[in-house]
Amino acid sequence: RKEVEQDPGPFNVPEGATVAFNCTYSNSASQSFFWYRQDCRKEPKLLMSVYSSGNEDGRFTAQLNRASQYISLLIRDSKLSDSATYLCVVIPGTGGFKTIFGAGTRLFVKA
């Protein structure tokens, strides 16, 4: 089983739609969770951290479910500019803070 698993997609949605991505992780001792965004042929950029209580940043909402070991990202009112690959990132509790990346979920927002 992979340490971090994501649905690769692609998700094709119209502008204005709401779309949700899930990500599961295998290490129950994992401590930190993030969503990164990567545009084609560019480096990943931090989108948002994921907190236990859930957190929201504008149109983006992230949630963590420790019992089921998954995190989610909800995007409301999708924009064309949201088209990208979204990477789920987990930092385990051990291993020198090694960062584990999911394979990413591709999102295409269409006009």
> What SS3 class is residue 97?
coil
Please answer whether residues 92 and 73 qualify as being in contact, where contact means their C-beta atoms are separated by less than 8 angstroms: no
Could you tell me the smallest distance in angstroms from the CB atom of residue 14 to other proteins? 24
Least Å distance, CB 85 to other proteins, is 9
- Taking the least distance from each CB to other proteins, the nearer of 20 and 46 is 46
Residue closer to other proteins by CB (options 9, 54) is: 9
Cβ pair 105, 9 in contact under 8 A? yes
Least separation in angstroms between CB 42 and other proteins = 7
Peptide linkage before 10 cis (omega within 30 of 0): yes
- The residue (of 26 and 32) whose beta carbon lies closer to other proteins is 32
CB 25 within 8 A of CB 3: yes
Task: Using CB under 8 A, list all residues that contact other proteins.
Answer: 32, 34, 41-46, 49, 87, 91, 96-104
